[in-house]
Amino acid sequence: MLLSFQGVRKQFGTTMALAGVTGAVDGRAVGLLGPNGAGKTTLMKVCLGLIRPDAGSVSVMGMDAVRDPNAVRHRLGYSAEGPGRMPGLSGLESVAFAAELCGLRYREALLRAHDMLDLVGLDESRYRPVETYSTGMHQRVKVAMALVHDPDLVLLDEPTSGLDPESRDELLDLVVHLRDSDGPAVVLSTHLLHDVERTCDAVMIMQNGEVRFAGPLRDLQVGRASEYEVRTALPTPALAEHLAARGVRVTLGGRADVLMVGLPDGDGPEAIWAAASACGASVVHLKARAASLEDAFLEAVGMRPAVPVSWPRPAVVPRG
Amino acid sequence: MEPMLVARGVSKLFGQVRALNDVDLTVGPGVTGLLGPNGSGKSTLMKLFAGQLLPDEGEVRLLGGDPFREPRYLRALGLCPEQDKFYEELTGHAFVFALTRLHGFGAADARKRTTSALDRVGMGEYGHKRIGEMSRGMRQRTKIAQAIAHDPPVVLLDEPLTGADPVARADLIDLVRGLGAEGRCVLVSSHVLHEVEAMTHQVVFIRFGRLRAHGDILRLRALLTDRPYRIHVEVDDPRALAARMIALPHVQATSVVDAGTLEVTTTDLDAAARELPDHAAALGQVVRRFTSPDADLESLYRYLISRV
Amino acid sequence: MADGRLPDQIHAVGYRRHVRKRRPQRAPWPIARTLLVLAWRRRATKFALLACGGAVLIAGAALVAQLLFRRLLGASPIAPTHVVGSAQEVFAGFLRGQFYLTAIAIAVIAGGCVAEDRAAGALELYFSRPLSRLDYALGKLLGAGLVPLSTLVVPTLLLWLVAVGVSPPDLGAELLWLAVPALSAATLGTVFLTATLVGVSAVGQKARTVSVAYVTGMILLSAVGEGLCEAGQRWAGYLVPERDLRTVVDALLHSGMPSLAAQLVPNRAALPNADVALSLVALLVFSAGGLALLAMRLRREVTG
């Protein structure tokens, strides 16, 4: 198991940051997902031994993070959220210094730092002081610092926050690259579902200091009837009626000409085609829609807003 | 046979600036092109082989010896450095002669060698011109003459063609090929890819101070299996040929570029080259042109230098 | 291949695992080195070191001149002890002046050592690495301590070597003993300055504020202490670090060369042991206070 938590509690003053976190997750890239204030950062710091939990046990790659934080930190890389930096140092020096703090020798550290900065895509500005960096450049340096001592796991806390779309793409590509390489596994904390959907193979969803779901991404999506997105050339209420008459669950999509069709388990899209030809609707778009992470996420945190509605009897005369 | 130049785990830093990182390389006889973007460490590698620098880590071997600590091995080396710095007052002949004497040849011998070296680089007639009055191309030739006058088995040429005019370039390319054909180990760095391609098919790529690739251009291109080849074929009826080609397993796509040109995208250039003419012949068509715009050094370079 | 070439190959790009070539190094050293490298980039550092170097040169010149003068005159009746005595006084004066110069230098060079880390949010970056609080503290103390080591201890040693080198043969033995009090004073001063500065830095937020506060604090403490002492409050003398240092040195000088010391410092010839002990305790209490501030700060900012 990459990370496993057992009843982890932490209280800051009157705020309960972690209210008994229990759960285990494994994978090459794990998304730590949750709204702001869910306790993601606190949980990461607990993994690093930066915060000692009031109760509970934390195991990182089989090591006890509460009792032996130094052993854990040797194999862990951490990219903190926020503007923290080593004062006065250039990007290159920051990364090399981070490597030296993990025991690399000066030259070894410099060469490795160059490699990591090439990887994260920081060009000649690596020789400039970090104070002068944009958010995107600073974020790259932080990720390079997390990777430089070749850990077995990197914790990236909100690495995409404040990035422009291009930098964000590059960063997410890097996470995918790490996931598929023989390098460290990644834990990516974010409040953006899209980031996780694109890069991760496992997810841990947190809310109010508790774990709502932990496991492989695909487990989040099982047990859902296959749903199809259907668009017709013209709005065709007859199609919906036809399908509904066959006992198929039909929901209105965002637009008049889009239907979300939930077929019973085991049924293929043949029923949709048959219905379309029966009522003369021309289907121009038909696509199986995997239950998106967003639905699962909202469900997991108990905030699912869209309750399926059955299609009302149409008042419009079908096209003949 | 013993490789003539060897680098084992070589790293070099200048202050904080990384020049080379963990380079493992052997170079044998023949011409080898040394390629990479500016600042990727090409000149540093040359200087390490020439014993002008000591690696921070790893070791460098010139004919089995350490060129930095055992300078006697440098007799086997001819170096044409990148910088355009000379004794401006000397004539070309005097310059080459003096440097040849430094290699330990007697005056008569050195004079003979100087003359033949200047002849070889096409400077025979201009040997008595002062270097300060020479054109960039002539200075470049003089520099090369100096590198080969003592008949070294290993020749390092750092950007030897810069500043030479087109005729001179053609001459110098022939000269470099000749040096390689004589069994010398010639390492040439250049930015002009088609000129490197004219000199040799053996190349070494350096990127971000690391060895990116080394070997034969076409074989390296074939190793890039995730990058299919595009082939442009000129025939009378491209559509008919397209229909046959798309059925082949290695062909990914065909498209008609214009009335007489077919573009075939394939993962196997070799097979396509063998099979396409047969298919054209079966249709009674003649292949008037067969080109692959991305099988050359230029496209290989682009692929290898891109970020990931 | 037959000719010993490597086979054609394209090397992978992207993340690669790191194969450690050398045994790991301990963390305090890079922390100290980085502190000094950063300080060296500021002009103020160079000025401070220049001032310290100048003071050493002046003291050296004075010392050599006196000893050569004494050597040329030989064991003549012209008050030889006075000449040697003034060599001792050069040492005492040098140590006294250099102590304050070093206080300024260390404040300028290392004033921000902990304060800036705190302001920039670097502590989290440090302690997300395999680094104990002790490693961090040792690194900062080492970095800051190298300043007084190079402006106080090393120059003292050099001056002493020069003095022994050019001294007339009959004074050799006496000058040899001088090393003990002089070097003890320099070392004690180093410990005191380092510990207190790092302590003040641990409290502050900005490098400049820390530097100014430290130097003004030191001057105020000395002035107030001396003033009160002269006004009859003897206890206040212990508040003056440099005075405490002098007391310890005098005691050491006394124990090594009672006769010479009696001539040199006649008014304080009979130093009560209690005085010496109290001075030493005062210095150590100051130093311990600095360390305590640092420890408190680290304990508050970093858990685990």
Give the model's pLDDT for residue A302.
Answer: 66
Q: Do A111 and B208 touch (CB under 8 A)?
A: no
Contact partners for chain C, using 3 or more CB pairs closer than 8 A, are A, B
Give the model's pLDDT for residue C78.
Answer: 54
Is residue A289 pLDDT above 80, yes or no?
Answer: no
Determine the length of chain A. Answer: 320
Q: Do B3 and C2 touch (CB under 8 A)?
A: no
Element (H or E) spanning C160, and its range?
helix C154-166
- C232 Cβ neighbours under 8 A, 6+ residues apart: none
Give the model's pLDDT for residue A259.
Answer: 83
Element (H or E) spanning A56, and its range?
strand A55-60
For chain B, how far is it from start to end, CA to CA, in angstroms?
A: 35
Average pLDDT of chain A to the nearest whole number: 84
Determine the length of chain B. Answer: 308
Exposure class string for A221-236: b at 16+ Cβ within 10 A, else e: eeeeebbbebbbeebb
Q: Is A181 on the interface with C (CB under 8 A)?
A: yes
Of C18, C21, C120, the CB nearest to A85: C120
- What does the CA dihedral C225, C227, C232, C233 come to, rounded to 10 degrees? -20
Lowest pLDDT segment from A230-234, B18-22, C186-190: A230-234
Q: How many CB atoms lie within 10 A of CB A146?
A: 28
Give the model's pLDDT for residue A309.
Answer: 34
Of A50, A97, A112, the CB nearest to C304: A50
Q: For B203, which residue in chain C has the nearest alpha carbon? A: C8
Distance CA A88, CA A78 (A): 20
Q: Six-digit token pair at C22?
A: 């050398």
Chain C residues touching residue B211 (CB < 8 angstroms)? 11
Lowest pLDDT segment from B16-30, C109-123, C252-266: C252-266
Give the model's pLDDT for residue B184.
Answer: 93
Q: How many CB atoms lie within 10 A of CB C231?
A: 9
Q: Which residue from C14, C19, C7, A116 is spatially nearest to B24, judged by alpha carbons?
A: C7
Residue B31: phi and psi, rounded to 5, are: -90, 135
Give the model's pLDDT for residue A314.
Answer: 38
SS3 assignment for A25-43: ECCCEEEEECCCCCCHHHH
Adjacent-strand bridge partners of B7: B25, B60
Lowest pLDDT segment from A227-231, B193-197, C1-5, C85-89: C1-5
Q: Looking at residues C126-144, what average pLDDT do you find? A: 92
Give the strand pairing for A29-33 and A202-207. Answer: parallel
Q: Six-digit token pair at B57?
A: 């880590």
E strand spans, chain C: 9-10
Q: Do C3 and B214 touch (CB under 8 A)?
A: no
Q: How many CB atoms lie within 10 A of CB A49?
A: 27
Max Cα-Cα span within chain B: 73
Q: Do B223 and C7 touch (CB under 8 A)?
A: no
Of A107, A114, A177, the CB nearest to B308: A177
Question: What confidence tens digit (pLDDT) does each residue in C4-43 have?
Answer: 566 888 888 889 898 877 777 888 999 999 999 999 999 9
Q: How buried is residue C220: exposed, middle or buried, by Cβ count under 10 Å (0-12/13-18/19+)?
A: exposed
Q: Which residue from A191, A187, A202 is spatially nearest to A160, judged by alpha carbons?
A: A191
Q: Do C17 and A182 touch (CB under 8 A)?
A: yes
Distance CA B168, CA A19 (A): 79
Collect all residues from C whose CB is shorter than 8 A from any CB in A: 14-18, 20-22, 24-27, 30-31, 34, 38, 41, 112, 116-117, 119-122, 124-132, 302-304
Q: Six-digit token pair at B181?
A: 């054909």
Q: Which residue from C17, B46, B20 is spatially nearest to A111, judged by alpha carbons?
A: B20
Band (C245; pLDDT cuts 50, 70, 90) = confident
- What does the CA dihedral B245, B248, B249, B252 come to, rounded to 10 degrees? 10
Distance CA B100, CA B103 (A): 5
Q: Is A177 on the interface with B (CB under 8 A)?
A: yes
Predicted ipTM of the assembly: 0.86
∠ CA C40-C41-C47, nearest 5°, is: 60
Q: How many CB atoms lie within 10 A of CB A298?
A: 15
Nearest-neighbour CA in chain B from C100: distance (Å): 35
Q: Which residue from C221, C43, C34, C42 is spatially nearest to C144, judged by alpha carbons?
A: C34
Please answer whether residues C67 and C87 qualify as being in contact, where contact means their C-beta atoms are separated by less than 8 angstroms: yes
Greater confidence (A270 vs B252) lies with B252
* CA distances in angstroms from C102 to C53, C106, C152, C283, listed in the order given: 10, 6, 7, 16
Give the model's pLDDT for residue B286.
Answer: 87
Of B3, B210, B215, the CB nearest to C4: B3
Is residue B158 pLDDT above 80, yes or no?
Answer: yes
Chain B residues touching residue C13 (CB < 8 angstroms)? 207, 212, 307-308
Q: Which residue from A274, A250, A254 is spatially nearest to A264, judged by alpha carbons?
A: A250
Please answer whether residues B212 and C13 qualify as being in contact, where contact means their C-beta atoms are separated by less than 8 angstroms: yes
Residue B190: phi and psi, rounded to 5, are: -160, 155
DSSP class of A183: S
Please answer whether residues C14 and B308 qualify as being in contact, where contact means their C-beta atoms are separated by less than 8 angstroms: yes
Q: Looking at residues C147-164, what average pLDDT do you find? A: 92
Q: Six-digit token pair at A138?
A: 């600073």
Please answer whether residues A293 and A196 qualify as being in contact, where contact means their C-beta atoms are separated by less than 8 angstroms: yes
How many CA atoms lie within 13 Å of C184's alpha carbon, on the beta-carbon side? 18
Please answer whether residues A28 and A89 qualify as being in contact, where contact means their C-beta atoms are separated by less than 8 angstroms: no
- The H helix count followed by the E strand count for chain A is 10, 14
Distance CA B4, CA B65 (A): 10
Q: Is A91 on the interface with C (CB under 8 A)?
A: no
Distance CA A222, CA A199 (A): 19
Lowest pLDDT segment from A209-218, A298-307, C181-190, C293-302: A298-307
Please answer whether residues B159 and B196 qualify as being in contact, where contact means their C-beta atoms are separated by less than 8 angstroms: no
Distance CA A96, CA A91 (A): 9
Q: Is A24 on the interface with C (CB under 8 A)?
A: no
Band (A83; pLDDT cuts 50, 70, 90) = confident
Give the model's pLDDT for residue A284.
Answer: 85
∠ CA B211-B212-B216, nearest 5°, is: 105
Question: What confidence tens digit (pLDDT) does each residue in C40-88 have?
Answer: 999 999 999 999 999 999 999 888 888 887 777 765 555 555 555 567 7
Question: What confidence tens digit (pLDDT) does each residue in A18-71 have?
Answer: 998 999 999 999 999 888 888 899 999 999 988 889 999 999 999 998 888 888
Q: In sequence order, what DSSP letters do the residues of A52-111 get, joined into one string?
A: --SEEEEEETTEETTT-HHHHHHTEEEE-SSS---TT-BHHHHHHHHHHHTT--HHHHHH
Q: How buried is residue B49: exposed, middle or buried, by Cβ count under 10 Å (0-12/13-18/19+)?
A: buried
Amino acid at A188: L
Q: Which residue from B94, B90, B18 is spatially nearest to B57, judged by alpha carbons?
A: B18
